[in-house]
Amino acid sequence: MPDSSTSHYPAAPKVEPVARHTLAVTVDNEPGVLARIAGMFSGRGYNIESLTVSETEHASHVSRITIVTSGTAHVIEQIKSQLERLVPVHGVRDLTIEGEAIERELALVKVAGKGEHRVEALRLAAAFGARTLDATLTSFVFELTGTTDEIDRFIAMMTVVGLVEVSRTGIAAMSRGAEGM
Amino acid sequence: MLEEMTGAEMVVRALKDQGVEHVFGYPGGAVLPIYDALFHQEDLRHILVRHEQGAAHAAEGYARSTGKVGCLLVTSGPGATNVVTGLTDALLDSVPIVCITGQVPTHLIGSDAFQECDTVGITRHCTKHNYLVKTVADLPRVLHEAFHVARTGRPGPVVVDIPKDVQFARGTYARPRDNQHKTYRPRLKGDLGKIKAALALMAQARKPVFYTGGGVINSGRHAAMLLRELVHLTGFPITSTLMGLGAFPASDAQWLGMLGMHGSYEANLAMHDCDVMVCVGARFDDRITGRLDAFSPNSRKIHIDIDPSSINKNVKVEIGILGDCGHVLEDMVRLWRETASRADKSALAAWWRTIEDWRAKKSFSYRNSTEIIKPQYAVERLYAAVKDRNHYITTEVGQHQMWAAQFFHFQEPNRWMTSGGLGTMGYGLPAAIGVQVAHPDALVIDIAGEASILMNMQEMSTAIQHRAPVKVFILNNEYMGMVRQWQELLHGGRYAESYTAALPDFVKLAEAYGAHGIRCCDPGKLDEAIAEMIAAPGPVILDCVVSKEENCFPMIPSGKAHNEMLLGETAEDIGGVIDEKGKALV
């Protein structure tokens, strides 16, 4: 890779600070729309850290996609413009620059163990406010909803007491206050 | 008005309702019902190509020379994959085309059926938008929407993939009343506040320059006329990208010639030294900017573009105006007049004196010969012979393309068809056929290289069948000239695979197709050969044998800034001028 001083391509973004942004994208729920969006990210070399999608307005076939990505301010602007020019995209909102958005993730966490580990797992789950969805004599499945950081911490703890499996939804996000998208 | 018909009949009907008169295409199993529907009517003329890529480029040539949407029809599987290059070409150069592809029946999709491919998956990245129509009820809406999306906003290619059972299925056809799309609504009018700010900046400019591109041509003829008016009102110099040639007349005193890697000295230095840059419908491509961090370092920039993702993509601008060039230019002309704006006359006069000094360098000059035809001379003579005729020029890709851009002077928009963004060798001949179909009485010339022309040579057969009297003007140096030039300058003259050792006899090849072939090796007989080419009633290949090792200058070497461009006489030093890092660039 030539360094930026001689490249006639855009300078590498290393000089500018890279920030994480959460984008809420409303799209027409037509076949292939997710591939279009994911493909735009991979084709242009952008990052996807988390992506969640589901239909939100059944009658009008509108889905909401929440994407967590990272880049310089310039790259984030490009990502938004590139998303907006896709034909089935209704709108793009950058929840990160609009103020502290609410971000939540749900995780299912399976742990297995006996004796002290089992008791400790249950104690930690209670401390984190996780629900117990399944219990056997040797295992639990917990459900935890929280920020990405909380879930990361919970999983780190569970690793010590016998983590078996994790399933996470990725981030759902919404802006604060009365205004809608 | 509702009418019942089959899906295949809907395709034909929708094309007619969209004003389509010509369809380029190639039949196959999965589009047979549509070909059957074509068989039963007289209004749509089908142009049978010899390879689907040719259909795509022909539709591009048709679209770019008329301003209308070009249309093509191909079968599933290989038919669809063969158009991918043409679709990508149209995407990068913003050419409106609608490509209808056949698909295996819906119940076979996903089963790896004969001639099945995931057409919408494959073309998702090389179209502006694409559709797989799974039910006949959706077909009328999708067909009309496809034309709307292709034509409006930043134009581009759209694919409509239609399974064979949907082509057979019966449904009701109605032309949708309004084209208000749920989500897709490109913005045409520019923000007036920003336009006013731009005009204020222009009025204060001491060293301004207009930098215009293909967006002006895409916006329509009126946009080119408004551009001329604004340029004349302001008295500013103007340059253009390869794609924008013809929007402003090359004969005008304010014209600086094309800019960029092989652009004129005066255009590139004006870009480098200007204090206000007005970019209209161009996209700061790497062939234009050269080294980015040294690109026009002291200017404030205004960028007018219909695509928001083009603004601030490569180059940060002070004023980005989102809108269609025609609409924004109209407001600019009106407001410039209303406010009785004036450019700074004395500053502008000094700026023009500087530009005239640069112009005096005559950066396109070359050493002519009486022994052998110089390629630049060939283009100059061709221009002299056809300039007073109703002519259209297409090109292939490489040195000949740059010489055509430098030495053929365009006065009007839509007369110049070349593959700019993708750089597709093999574009010129099929594009010329598309242009000729749209303008049967015009003189259509493909300025070609002997390597490029072989990539879609088979379309000569199309030209013969459809009586499209295109003229192929080959600058034959036996090398892939631009590859050879880079090998000479960057790779120590090691000409790996850039020499074509077994070229066909182009005269005999022309004759084999039923065309007229001419060979010319003598500069003294060139005019005569060109006259013979023009006078011939049918397709012609003129094999113009030119000097083998001519390089295309001026040139901004990779990784260098506009003010570091090399002129022809410094050619010997060029290898030392490009450093290791520059060599890594394309």
Per-residue DSSP letters for B261-275? TT--HHHHHHHHH-S
Name the residue facing A35 among B124, B293, B307 (closest C-beta): B124
pLDDT tens digit string along B381-422? 999 999 999 999 999 999 999 999 999 999 999 999 999 999
Q: pLDDT band for position A2 (50/70/90)?
A: very low
pLDDT at B586 over 90: no
Residue B185 contacts A, CB cutoff 8 Å: no
Mean pLDDT of chain B: 95
**Local confidence band at B577 (pLDDT 50, 70, 90 cut-offs):** low
What rounded mean pLDDT belongs to chain A? 90
**In a 3-state reduction of DSSP, which class is residue B369?**
coil
pLDDT tens sequence across A92-131: 999 999 888 999 999 999 999 999 999 999 999 999 999 9
Give me the pLDDT at residue A98, please. Answer: 84
Q: Using the Cα atoms of residue B358, residue B304, residue B325 and residue B127 in order, give the sign of their dihedral.
A: positive
Q: What is the DSSP annotation of chain A?
A: ---TTT-SSPPPGGGSPPEEEEEEEEEE--TTHHHHHHHHHHHTT---SEEEEEEEETTTTEEEEEEEEEE-HHHHHHHHHHHHTSTTEEEEEETTTTS--EEEEEEEEEEE--THHHHHHHHHHHHHT-EEEEE-SSEEEEEEEE-HHHHHHHHHHHHHHTEEEEEE---EEE-SSS---
Omega before residue B554 within 30° of 0, cis: yes
Q: For the segment B292-346, what is each residue's pLDDT rounded down to a tens digit?
A: 989 999 999 999 999 999 999 999 999 999 999 999 999 999 999 998 878 889 9
Alpha-carbon gap, residue B373 to B526, rounded angstroms = 8
Work out the end-to-end distance of chain B between its first and last CA atoms, rounded to an integer number of angstroms: 55
Least Cα separation, residue B281 to chain A (angstroms): 17
For residue B579, pLDDT beyond 90: no
pLDDT of residue A57: 87
- For residue B573, the model assigns a pLDDT of 47
Looking at this predicted complex, what is its ipTM? 0.87
Active site residue ranges of B: 52, 114-115, 164, 482
Give the mutation candidate from B126, B133, B184, B555 for the A interface (greatest A CB count, under 10 A).
B184
Of the listed ranges A5-19, B41-55, B125-139, the least confidently predicted one is A5-19
Q: Which residues of A touch B142 (CB under 8 A)?
A: none
A12 touches chain B (CB under 8 A): no
Shortest CA distance from B187: residue in chain A: A85
In the predicted structure, residue B574 carries a pLDDT above the cut 70: no
DSSP string, B274-341: -SEEEEES----HHHHSSGGGSSTT-EEEEEES-GGGTTSSS--SEEEES-HHHHHHHHHHHHHHTT-
A8: confidence class by pLDDT, cuts 50, 70, 90: very low
Q: What is the DSSP letter of B190?
A: P
Write out pLDDT tens, residues B91-113.
999 999 999 999 999 999 999 99
pLDDT band of residue B567 (cuts 50, 70, 90) is confident
Task: Give the pLDDT confidence of B41-83 residue by residue, as tens digits.
Answer: 999 999 999 999 999 999 999 999 999 999 999 999 999 999 9
- The pLDDT score that the predictor gives to residue B179 is 67
In 3D space, the residue among B290, B253, B263, B295 whose CA is nearest the CA of residue B277 turns out to be B295
Mean pLDDT to the nearest integer, A86-92: 95
Q: Which residue has the tokens 């409509």?
A: B160
Whether the per-residue pLDDT at A6 is higher than 70: the answer is: no
Q: Does A32 touch chain B (CB under 8 A)?
A: yes
- Residue located via tokens 């300039």: B387
- Cβ neighbours of A8 in B, within 8 Å: 286, 289-292, 558-559, 585
- Residue A14: what pLDDT? 53
Give the angle subtended at the CA of B264 by the CAs of B263 and B270, to the nearest 5°: 105
pLDDT for the residue numbered B457: 98
Alpha-carbon distance of A156 to A153, in angstroms, equals 5
pLDDT score recorded for residue A5: 44
Q: Is the pLDDT of residue A11 over 60?
A: no
Crossing angle for the helix pair B325-338 and B192-204, to the nearest 10 degrees? 60
Average the pLDDT over A28-56 and give the result: 94
Q: Across residues B494-514, what is the average pLDDT?
A: 96
- Write out the H or E segment, with its range, that includes residue B163: strand B157-163
Residue B357 has pLDDT above 80, yes or no: yes
**For position A4, what pLDDT does the model report?**
40
Model confidence at B371: pLDDT above 80: yes
The confidence score (pLDDT) of residue B500 equals 93
